[in-house]
Amino acid sequence: MKTLILGSTSVFRQTILEKLNLPFQTAKPNIDETALANETPQALVERLAIEKAKAVAEKFSNALIIGSDQVAVCEGEILGKPHNFDNGVKQLSKFSNKSVTFYTGLCVFDSASDKVTSLVEPFIVHFNTLSQNEIESYLKAEQPYNCAGSFKSEALGICLFKKLEGDDPNTLIGLPLIKLVSLLKQHGLNVLAEQQQM
């Protein structure tokens, strides 16, 4: 089996990838994540996922490298990580009683053959009507400042939602596993078959 590399230092993505029970290493991609002029959210996350995978490829000459990137979109506006309490309040206030679409770009790059497979996976979050008090209480309790959209769906953030709509709950946390298994298979890595080699 080729070396499997997660081109991310996100602990959330690492935890998700561990579910596949395969050995992997992580590497930090240093890329400029600025959107291009008139770039759609879908094009942005797919491009960044590919760039992240390729950015770490120079350190690994024979590896399957996973790149991933995510944005939240509400009423046509792209929203990233809030980074602080005030921005978190702004984001969650904007989301109150609305639907937010998360687009996750996913790429698997074979550094030996230069083969790239990539896709964009959408996931829709329908928010409850949120009071100022609920928003502030949530942010203080969980401090989700480096999560796109200002919440952690795998924890207390679940209290903010009316319903979730998508194929794979892992997508919302940052790594669409169902689609990843399919991309890895296109590169000749069958996750279940590999379990026998362990």
Active-site residue, 114 included? no
3-state SS record for 16-67 = HHHCCCCCCEECCCCCCCCCCCCCCHHHHHHHHHHHHHHHHHCCCCCEEEEE
CA 126, CA 139: separation in Å to the nearest integer?
18
Catalytic residue among 69, 86, 110, 114: 69
How does DSSP assign 145-182, residue by residue?
TTSTTS--TTTGGGGGEEEEESS-HHHHHT--HHHHHH
Residues 6+ apart with CB under 8 A from 34: none
Residues 6+ apart with CB under 8 A from 18: none
Q: How long a stretch of residues is the chain?
A: 198
CA 76, CA 194: separation in Å to the nearest integer?
42
Give the CA angle between residues 13, 159, 181 to the nearest 5°: 25
Catalytic residue ranges: 69
